[in-house]
Chains A and B, each alone.
Chain A
Amino acid sequence: MKINVSREILAGELRDKVKELSAQNLLACYQCGKCSAGCPSIEAMDIMPSQVLRLVQLGQVRQALASKTIWLCAACQTCKVRCPKGVDLAKIMEALRQVVLRESANYVQPNEIPGENLEKLPQVALIANFRKFTR
C-alpha cells in the first residue's frame, strides 16, 4: 500500500472541508488508538476509526471516504469521551459522511427498505438512521 504526500496534497480542499465541518484540530490526534479500542462497531469495519483520521491527517481524504468505517459508526460518543487529546472523532466521522452525502447520493435509500422491516423497526431507529445516512 502506498500513498503520496506533498504540500499540495496536505493543503487539499477536502481536508479543509473536513476540518471545518467537524470543527476539530485534526493534528491533535497522536494515533494512540484508544478510540478504536473502545469502538463497538470495529469488528465489522475495514479500517479502524483511528486509521480513518490518520488518512485525513495525511491528506488522503478520498481513501478515508471510501471506507466502510464511516458508515458503521453508531455515534455512541465512546471515542470522544475517552480521547486523551480531546479530539471529537464522532464529529470527524459525521463530517466525512456529510462530505459524501452532500457530494453525491444518500447512503441509505429509504424507499428500498423492505416493508416488513419498516413495520417492525421503531421510528426512532429509522429517524436516527436517515439523519445520519441521508441528506
Chain B
Amino acid sequence: MTDIAYMPGCTLKTSGRNFDETTRKFLELFGVKLNELPDWCCCGTTYSLASDNLMYHLAPARNLVKAAESGSSKLLVPCAMCYNTLRRAQDLILNDKEKRDKLNDFMDKEKTKISGDEVRVMHLVSFLKEDVGFDTIKAKITPPPAGLKAAVYYGCMLLRPNEIAIDKHPEDPSIMEKLLEACGIETVYFPFKTECCGSYQVVNEKRLVVSRTAEIVKSAFRNGAELIITSCPLCYFNLDAHQEELSRGVKYFNTVPVMYISQLLALLAGVVEGSNYSLHAVDPRPLLRKKGLLA
C-alpha cells in the first residue's frame, strides 16, 4: 500500500461526501491509501487576490505545513477549489521571500517552517494520470455495456490561472476526457466545459447562477450528453441543485444528472458502496440502471 497525504476539504466531509468516499475506495483498488492530513483546516478558498492580505493566506499555509510534516511527497486534493487555493498559496510562498518569511514567523507555534517545495499539490485527475496510469485504470474497469455519453465539466478552478492548470491546453482541455474514454465512456463536444458556473454568487445572487446553470446544462444536453461529470463540489451543487427549478420554469429544459468523476470511476470498477444517491437533486440512478451500471 502506498500512503499518500490527502486533503478532502470541508465540503467533501458533508454535502460532498460522495466525492470523498468514492475517491478513497477507487484509489484503494490501486493500492493507494489516502491519509487525511492530521488537524487539517479549511483551505481558505478562494485564493485572496489583494497584494497585502497575508491573513487570508494562513489557512492554506497551515495545511501546507501539515502536508510537509506528513512525510508524503504528494498531497492529493480532489476538490477543485482546495486544489486551486493550495497551489496558488504554495506558489506565493515559493516565489515571494518576504511574504514567506512573514507567514512562517506568524505561524511560530507550528513545528515546521515551509519554503513551498516540500510537497507536490496534485489534483486527483493528475494523480490518476501520472501515478496510476490510464492504462492501469482501464484494466481494472468494465465499460458500461450499453455505452454512456458524458460531458466533462471542468469549471474554472482546475484550469486558471495557467500556472496551476491540470491540462497543457487550459482553453481546450482533454485530460479528463482521455481518462473517461480509456474507460469506455464516450465524451461529447461541450463548448461550455470551461465556462464558470457562477461559483460563490449562489449565496446572494442566485439568479446569476441559475442562468449560468441553464446555459451549461442546455449546451451539454444539445451535444448529446446523458451525464455531466465534474470535480468540484461547488460546481456540482450549482449544476445539480438548480435543475429542478429550471425544469419547472423553463420550456424545453431537459435535466441531465451530475456526478463526481470518482463516483463514475468507482461504479465502473464495480464498487457499489460509497455513493449516497439521496444527496443528488437530479437522481442519476435511472440513467445508471439503464446503462447497466447499477442493478
Please give the residue numbers on chain A whose beta carbons come within 8 Å of chain B beta carbons, in ascending order: 20-23, 40-41, 43-44, 71-72, 74-78, 80-81, 88, 90-91, 93-95, 98, 108, 113, 117, 120-129, 131-133
Inter-chain contact B201/A91, CB cutoff 8 Å? no
Inter-chain contact A75/B46, CB cutoff 8 Å? yes
Provide the bound-state CA to CA distance between A110 and B143, in Å. Answer: 46
Question: Considering the complex of A and B, which 3 residue pairs feature the smallest CB-CB distances, nearest first?
Answer: A76-B196, A94-B49, A77-B160
Within the complex, the shortest CB–CB distance from A30 to chain B, in Å, comes to 21
Can you list 23 contacts pairing A with B, beta carbon distance less than 8 Å?
A20-B51, A22-B49, A22-B50, A23-B51, A40-B212, A41-B208, A43-B211, A44-B205, A72-B201, A72-B205, A74-B199, A75-B200, A91-B49, A93-B49, A94-B50, A113-B203, A122-B234, A122-B237, A123-B10, A124-B10, A124-B16, A124-B45, A128-B45
Inter-chain contact B200/A74, CB cutoff 8 Å? yes
Q: Which of B48, B49, B198, B204 meets A41, CB within 8 Å?
A: B198
Majority secondary structure of chain B interface residues (helix, strand, loop or mixed):
loop
How many positions in chain B have a CB within 8 Å of any CB in the partner chain?
Answer: 43
Q: Is B78 an interface residue (CB 8 A)?
A: no
- Known contacts being A20-B51, A40-B212, A94-B50, is A124 close to B11, with CB within 8 Å? yes
Q: Of all chain A residues, which has the CB nearest B211?
A: A43
Residues of B within 8 A of A129 (CB): 200-204
Within the complex, the shortest CB–CB distance from A123 to chain B, in Å, comes to 5
Q: Is B52 an interface residue (CB 8 A)?
A: yes
Within the complex, the shortest CB–CB distance from B88 to chain A, in Å, comes to 10
Contact residues of B between 168 and 223, Cβ < 8 Å to A: 170, 195-205, 207-208, 211-212
Inter-chain contact A125/B160, CB cutoff 8 Å? no
Provide the bound-state CA to CA distance between A95 and B211, in Å. Answer: 27
Within the complex, the shortest CB–CB distance from B86 to chain A, in Å, comes to 13
Q: Is B34 an interface residue (CB 8 A)?
A: no
Inter-chain contact A123/B14, CB cutoff 8 Å? yes
Residues of A within 8 A of B212 (CB): 40
Q: Of all chain B residues, which has the CB nearest A113?
A: B203
Inter-chain contact B79/A124, CB cutoff 8 Å? yes
Q: Which of A21, A41, A44, A122 meets B52, CB within 8 Å?
A: A21
Within the complex, the shortest CB–CB distance from A88 to chain B, in Å, comes to 8
Inter-chain contact B237/A76, CB cutoff 8 Å? no
Known: A74-B201, A117-B203. 17 other contacts (CB 8 A): A21-B52, A40-B196, A71-B205, A74-B198, A75-B49, A76-B160, A76-B199, A95-B51, A122-B15, A124-B81, A124-B234, A128-B199, A128-B234, A129-B201, A131-B44, A131-B48, A132-B200
Residues of B within 8 A of A21 (CB): 50-52
